Amino acid sequence: MTVADWATAVLLPLGALFALIGTFGLVRFPTLLGRLHAATKPDTVGLVLLLLGAAFQLPDVGSAVPLALVGLFQFLTVPVLAQTIGRVAYSRGESDRAHLVTDELRQALRESRDDGE
Amino acid sequence: MNVLEHVYTATFAMLGAGVLFTLVRLVRGPSVLDRIICLNALSVLVVSSIAVEVAVRGDTAYIGLMVTIALLGFVGTLTAARFAERRAHDRG
Amino acid sequence: MTAADESGAVRPVEAPADERSWLQRLLGRLPTVVWLTVMWVILWGDPSPGTILAGLLVASLGYSAARLPHLPVRLGFHPIAVLRLASRIGYDLFASSVRVAFHVLWRPERTRGAIVAVPMRTDSDFLLALVSGGLSLVTGSLVIELNRDQGVIYVHGIPVASPEAVEGLRRQVRRTEELIVRAFGNAEDIAEFERAEREYATTTRKETS
Q: A-chain residues within 8 Å CB-CB of C166?
A: 101-102
Structure confidence by residue, pLDDT tens digits, C37-47: 888 888 777 77
Classify residue C80 by burial, with Cβ atoms within 10 Å: 0-12, 13-18, 19+.
Answer: exposed
Q: A16–B33: do the CB atoms touch at under 8 Å?
A: no
Structure confidence by residue, pLDDT tens digits, C34-78: 888 888 888 777 778 888 888 888 888 887 777 666 666 667 778
- List all residues of chain C from 96 to 155 with a beta carbon under 8 Å from chain A: 96-97, 100-101, 103-105, 108-109, 111-117, 132-140, 142-145, 147, 152, 154
Provide ipTM, 2 decimals: 0.83
Rg, C-alpha atoms of chain C:
22
Residue C159 and residue C165: Cα distance in Å, rounded?
A: 8
What pLDDT score was predicted for residue C72?
62
Reply yes or no: is the peptide bond before residue A13 cis, omega within 30 of 0: no
In this prediction the pTM is 0.80
pLDDT interval class at B13 (50, 70, 90): very high
| CB crowding A29-63: b at 16 or more within 10 Å, else e | bebbbbbbbbbbbbbbbbbbbbbbbbbbbbeeeeb
Which residue in chain B has the smallest CA separation from A7?
B4
Return phi, psi of residue C157, to 5°: -120, 150
User: What does the domain layout of chain A look like in residue ranges?
Assistant: 3-116
Q: How far is C22 from chain B (nearest CA, A)?
A: 34
